[in-house]
């Protein structure tokens, strides 16, 4: 079973308009509610691809109830922890010439709620996959990723970690099955953004040396590069299409990679399916559908 953890889920209120004019009344052309958070995005695309999974995390208030019901309506399984105070955040995504985002802060996750999450994670069994992604709320300790991984170490659980900087680096000693930095995030870690394939491969290799088993580097319109634990290096471009959305493309790539690896146990195929899923999200107004992913898979 795959479990995803989202520390700070959100209702994403997405609006489309010709141009955003600050200081004026703006009228939308279209609008939608989407259920956001990096782990939730992974769960959504996994479900679309027919891969069973459970979304974990923290919810609060009437916005949290709307998010839980929305996921249920899409067939996405969840087992959230309910916080006694606050509201699950609302993020505003404005598509008006350029993409503009206003992200809410979210509720406070206290020590009791974190213990409740740890209790749920203690039920995972050997062979399960745990996906931890995104930032950590300010109220939690900065080493919360490390606490979770240390608690579950040596239990045969496969870890997938998709975050940045110190959070990512602190996870490496626990030998995560997969990490998925982008090239800009590599720059944050190594102090210089790699631009060539050789530089990107060198940075990815250093992350492997520090403990990561498979390193999948996404590079937006320049494609992706994978170093796998068997010594393989794979470079993919992107299929042709018009980018309409940048939200959730990386999470979709993670979901596609896992779905591909579970299907065939082949890392090259997993990268292809991951790239197809990421592109399918980028080319749509929401997250990837199975039909869109399978169409793009044939483009590689």
Quote the pLDDT of residue 221: 80
- Show the tokens assigned to 212: 């990561």
Question: If DSSP codes are grouped into helix, strand and coil, which group holds residue 189?
Answer: helix
Dump pLDDT digits (tens) for 6-17: 999 999 999 999
Mean pLDDT to the nearest integer, 57-77: 96
Name residue, tokens 């010594």. Answer: 231
Quote the pLDDT of residue 217: 95
| C-beta of residue 298 within 8 angstroms of C-beta of residue 279 | no
Quote the pLDDT of residue 116: 95
Dump pLDDT digits (tens) for 100-147: 889 988 898 988 999 999 999 999 999 999 999 887 777 777 788 889
DSSP, res 136: -
228 is catalytic: no
Residue percentage of the chain with pLDDT more than 70 = 100
CATH architecture of the domain with range 2-8+37-62+75-84+106-297:
3-Layer(aba) Sandwich (3.40)
Output the average pLDDT for the chain: 92
Integer CA distances (angstroms), 292 to 45, 109, 212, 284, in order: 11, 36, 30, 9
Dump pLDDT digits (tens) for 185-228: 988 888 888 889 999 999 999 999 999 999 999 988 888 999 99
Domain map of the chain by residue range?
2-8+37-62+75-84+106-297
pTM of the model: 0.92
Which of 18, 228, 251, 285 is the catalytic position?
A: 251
């Amino acid at each position: 079973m795959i479990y995803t953890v989202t520390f700070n889920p959100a209702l994403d209120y997405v609006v489309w308009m010709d141009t955003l004019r600050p200081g004026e009344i703006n009228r939308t052309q279209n609008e939608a509610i989407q259920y956001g958070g990096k782990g939730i995005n992974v769960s959504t695309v996994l479900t679309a691809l027919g891969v069973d999974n459970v979304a974990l995390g923290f919810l609060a208030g009437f916005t949290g109830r709307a998010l839980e019901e929305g996921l249920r309506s899409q067939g996405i399984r969840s087992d959230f922890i309910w916080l006694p105070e606050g509201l699950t955040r609302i993020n505003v995504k404005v598509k008006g010439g350029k993409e503009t985002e206003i992200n809410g802060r979210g509720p406070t996750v206290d020590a009791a709620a974190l213990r409740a999450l740890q209790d749920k994670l203690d039920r995972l069994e050997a062979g399960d996959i745990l996906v931890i992604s995104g930032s950590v709320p300010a109220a939690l300790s900065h080493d919360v990723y490390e606490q979770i991984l240390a608690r579950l170490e040596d239990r045969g659980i496969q870890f997938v970690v998709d975050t940045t900087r110190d959070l990512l680096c602190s996870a490496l000693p626990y030998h995560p099955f997969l990490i998925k930095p982008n090239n800009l995030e590599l720059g944050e870690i190594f102090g210089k953004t790699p631009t060539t394939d050789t530089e990107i491969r060198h940075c990815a290799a250093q992350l492997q040396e520090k403990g990561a088993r498979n390193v999948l580097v996404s590079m937006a319109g320049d494609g992706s590069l994978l170093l796998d634990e068997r010594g393989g290096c794979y470079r993919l471009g992107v299929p042709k299409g018009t980018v309409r959305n940048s939200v959730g493309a990386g999470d979709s790539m993670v979901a596609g990679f896992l779905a591909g690896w579970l299907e065939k146990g082949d890392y090259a195929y997993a990268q292809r399916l991951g790239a197809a899923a990421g592109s399918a999200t980028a080319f749509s107004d929401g997250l990837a559908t199975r039909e869109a992913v399978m169409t793009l898979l044939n483009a590689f």
